[in-house]
Chains A and B, each alone.
Chain A
Amino acid sequence: MAPLDPSSPPAPGAAEPVVLLEGVRRRFARVEALRSLDLRVEQGTVTVLLGPNGAGKTTAIRVITGALGVHGGTVRVFGLDPDHKTDGQSVRRRCGVVSAKPALYDRLSGFDNLRYAAELYGMGWTDATKERVVEAATRFGIQGSLDAQVGGYSTGMKTRLALSRSVLHEPDLLLFDEPTSGLDPESSQAVLHLIKDMAADGTTVVMCTHLLLEAEGLAEQVVVMEAGADIASGPPDDLIRRYWPDDSVRLGVEDPAMLDGLVALPGVRRLTPVEGAAGEVDVDLDHLGRVPEIVLALTTRGARLTKVAPHERSLEELYFAVRRPHLATGDAPEGGGLAPVAPPPDVLAAAPVPAPQPAEEASV
C-alpha cells in the first residue's frame, strides 16, 4: 500500500480523520503483532476493535498514541505522526487511555494518582485542577475513596479510577482497552453510557473488546481483527448487510418435520436451524413480502406455527461469520478466539447455501 503523503491536503469537504492507519506493521522479535492494519476513525464516532486475544488490538492502541513505533505503514493521529518526538507529545496530550490493566500506582492515594496524571498532561496544579480531579472522580463514583491508597481498592474501583484519569484532561480521543473488565454489570453499563455521552459531545472513541454484547448498539464502526490485520470493517449495519444481504425471518413450528422442503419455496434462499431451539429456523428470503406465502404454505401442510418474527442479525453473528473462514484455514493465532460462544458445527453444516462473500467496496 502506498504511504500517505501528510503534506497533501484532504479532498475538499472531506474532514480529516482523527486516526488513520494504513498498512501498519509491527513485530515483536519474530512475532508479527500487526501485519497490515488499516483503520480510519472519524471525529466524534465510536469505533470498536473486535478480535480474539493476540489479534493485535492492544498493539493498535499503543501504535495510535505512539507508545510503540511501527515497522511499516503510516500512522496519522490528528494529522500528526505520533512516533515523532514533538508531534507525539501533542498527540498523547490529546489522548486519554485506559489500558487493559488499570496501570495505577498502588502506593499512592487515588487523589495522588489523578494529580500525577493532571500534571503530566500539563494541567498544572491549581484550584481549578483540583476541582477537575474531584469532578472526574465523581463522574465514575469514586470520589469517596480518593484519599485511600489505591492498593486497597477493589478491581472495580481501580477501573473507575483509571477511567477518571483518562477523562481528566478532557481528551479529544479516548482509547479504551477492555474498559469494563473487572466491573460489575451496573458499572459496566455506566461506562458504556459515558462512552456514548462523550461521543455525543464530539469526543472520538476507539475501544477494544472481545465482549460482543458490549459493542452492540455502541459501535458506529466495528473493525474485526485477526492475526494483526483488519479482516472486516465498517458500520455494523453495513457489514451485516454485506454478509447477509437477504431479509431474514425466524419461524417456529411444533413438528420440525414440517420444515422439510421449505427451502424449495419461491424466494427462500437459505434455512439455518436455530441453536438450542428444536423446530425453529432462520429463513433467509429475497424480501420480507414472502412471509405471508410461507406461512400459508406451512399452515396448508398442517403445521402449527409457534413463532414468526423478523430476524435481526447480531454483532455476535457477524463476528463469527467474518472470522469463520480464518478459523477454518487456521489463520487464527494459537489460543485466540472466543470459543465459549462459537456456533456449534451442526449449525454451520445445516446451511444449504454458503455464506456470501463480503462485497469488496464495503471494506475500508
Chain B
Amino acid sequence: MDFKRVRIVVRTELKQLAQAKDFWFPMVILGSLFFVVIPTVLFLTITQIGDVQVVDKVSRAIDVLPPSTQAAIPDASPAGRTAYALAVFLLAPVAIVVPLTISTAVGAASLVGERERGTGEFLAHSPAAAREIYLGKVIASIIPGYLTTFVGFGAYSLIVNLLVGPEVGGWFFPTGQWWVMVLWVLPPFLAITLSIVLRLSARVKSTAAAQQASGLVTLPLIGIAYGQATGSLFGAATIGTIMGGLAWIVALISLSRGMQKVQRSRLLGVADGI
C-alpha cells in the first residue's frame, strides 16, 4: 500500500468536489437547515417568544430521560431547561445524519462515476493499486461529511450558546459527551457506511442505482448510529464507548474486506466474470 498515492487520489477527488457547485449547493442548503435555520427558529421560539405550549410539551419529555441525564440539565427556568435538552439531546445527534448523508452521496458516485465519465479507464491503466484507489475514495468521501459536521456545529454552537446560554448560566455547548460522539462514535459509522457504499458503487451500473442501493444500507446505519449517539449523549457513556469501540472493529474489518474485494476491472465498466 502506497499511502502517497492514496493521498494523491484523496486530493484530486476533493479538488473535483470543490469544483462541483451542483453538488455543494443542495448540501449547503441541507446543512443550513439542520444547523442554522431550525435551531434558530426553535430556540428563539422557546427562549425569546416563550411559547408556553412548546415548553410544556418538551418539559414533560425531559421527565422520561434517564436520571443521570436529567441531573446533567442545569437548574434553570422551564424554558431554559427545555432549550438545553433540545440543544443537547434532540438536535445534536443530527451530527450523525448530516455527515452520513453527505458522505454517502459523495461515495455512491465515486467508483461508478469514474466508469460513467470514462475516467475509470485511466485509473485502471495507472500504476495505482485498486485498494489504494478504493481507500483514497473512502477517505475523500468521509472528509466532506466530517468537515460539514465541524463547520455546521461551529455555527450551531454559536447559535445555541447565544440563544440558550443566558438561560442556563453561560455557554455550554459542545458538551463532553458530544465530543465523544463526534470523535469516537461517528467516524467508525462513517467508515462502515462508506466501505459498503463504495463496494456497491463498484458493482452497480449507474450513479442513480448506486444512490438507491446506498439508501438501503445507510438508513439502518443512520438508525444504529443515531441510537448510539443519543445513548452517549444521554449519559450512558460506558455503553457508548464500548459500542464505539465495536464499531471501530467492524469498520476496520469492513474497510479491509473492501480493499481486498475491489477489482481493477470494476473501473472499466465491463461485465466481469472474474
Is B268's CB within 8 Å of the partner chain A?
A: yes
Contact status B12-A122, CB under 8 Å: no
Tell me whether A69 is interfacial, beta carbon within 8 Å.
yes
Contact A85 B271 (CB under 8 A): no
Q: How far is the CB of B130 from chain A (nearest CB, A)?
A: 10
| Cβ contacts under 8 Å, B273 to chain A | 27-29, 71
Assess the A105–B129 pair: CB atoms within 8 A. Answer: no
Residues of A with C-beta under 8 A to B274: 69, 71
A161-185 interface code vs B (CB 8 A; 1 in, 0 out): 0000100000000010000000000
Asked if A101 CB lies within 8 Å of chain B CBs, one says yes
Binds B, one of A8-16, A59-67, A237-245, A325-333: A59-67
Whether B60 is near chain A, meaning CB under 8 Å from some CB there, is no
> Complex: how many Å from CA A231 to CA B101?
53
Q: Does B117 contact A (CB under 8 A)?
A: yes
Q: Mark A232-260, 1 if CB is under 8 A from B, else 0.
A: 00000000000000000000000000000
In the bound complex, do residue B127 and residue A112 qualify as a contact, i.e. CB atoms below 8 Å apart? no
Q: Pick the contact of A120 from B20, B120, B126 — CB < 8 Å?
A: B126
Residues of B within 8 A of A95 (CB): 125
Q: Once the chains bind, are A120 and B118 in contact (CB under 8 Å)?
A: no
- The interface size bin for chain A is 35 or more
A89 touches B127 (CB 8 A): yes
Interchain CB contact under 8 A, A104 and B129:
no
Partner of A103 from B8, B16, B118, B271 at Cβ < 8 Å: B118
A62-B268, A68-B270, A107-B16 known; A121+B126 contact, CB < 8 A: yes
CB of B272 within 8 Å of the partner chain: yes
A349–B217 Cα gap in the complex (Å)? Answer: 64
Residue of B nearest to A104 (CB): B119
Which residue on chain B has the smallest CB distance to residue A68? B265
What's the minimum C-beta distance from B248 to chain A, rounded to whole angstroms? 28
| Beta-carbon contact of B12 and A105 below 8 Å | yes
Residues in A neighbouring B209, C-beta threshold 8 A:
none
User: C-beta contact mask, B3-24 vs A, less than 8 Å → 1, else 0?
Assistant: 0010011001001100110000
Report B234-268 CB contacts with A as 1/0, cut-off 8 Å: 00000000000000000000000000000011011
Measured between beta carbons, the chain B residues less than 8 angstroms from A92 are: 125-127
Q: CA A106 – CA B16 in complex, angstroms?
A: 9
In A22-39, the 8 Å CB interface with B consists of 27-29, 31
Alpha-carbon separation in the docked complex, A105 to B117 (Å):
8
* Residue of chain B at shortest CB distance from A66: B264
Give the distance in Å from the alpha carbon of A116 to the alpha carbon of B15 in the complex.
11
Q: Which residues of B contact A263 (CB under 8 A)?
A: none
| B100-140 with Cβ < 8 A to chain A | 117-122, 124-129
> In whole angstroms, what is the CA distance A146 to B129 when docked?
28
How far apart sit A69 and B272, CA to CA, in the bound complex (Å)?
10
Q: Which of A67, A69, A104 is the most central at the interface, judged by chain B CB atoms within 10 Å of its CB?
A: A67
The answer to whether A103 touches B121, judged by C-beta atoms less than 8 angstroms apart, is yes
Contact A99 B125 (CB under 8 A): yes
Task: Give CA–CA (A66, B267) in the complex, Å.
Answer: 12
A119 contacts B8, C-beta separation under 8 Å: yes
A108 touches B15 (CB 8 A): yes
Closest CB in chain B relative to A101 CB, distance in Å: 4
Chain B residues within 8 Å of A66, by CB: 264
Instruction: Please tell me if the beta carbons of B268 and A68 are within 8 angstroms of each other in the complex.
Output: yes
Contact present for B19 and A67 (CB under 8 Å):
no
Q: A92-B127, A95-B125, A116-B8 are in contact. Are A105 and B119 (CB under 8 A)?
A: yes
The distance in angstroms between the C-alpha atoms of A101 and B118, with both chains bound, is 7
Write out the residue numbers on chain B whose beta carbons fall within 8 Å of the beta carbon of A103.
Answer: 117-122
The 8 closest A-B pairs by CB, nearest first: A67-B124, A101-B118, A103-B122, A107-B19, A97-B125, A99-B121, A103-B121, A93-B127
Extra inter-chain contacts (13) besides given A95-B125, A102-B118, A107-B20, CB under 8 Å:
A29-B273, A31-B271, A62-B125, A65-B124, A65-B125, A67-B265, A68-B265, A68-B268, A99-B118, A99-B121, A108-B12, A120-B126, A120-B127
11 residue pairs of the A-B complex, CB under 8 angstroms, read A29-B273, A62-B124, A68-B264, A68-B268, A97-B122, A99-B118, A103-B122, A112-B12, A120-B5, A120-B8, A120-B127
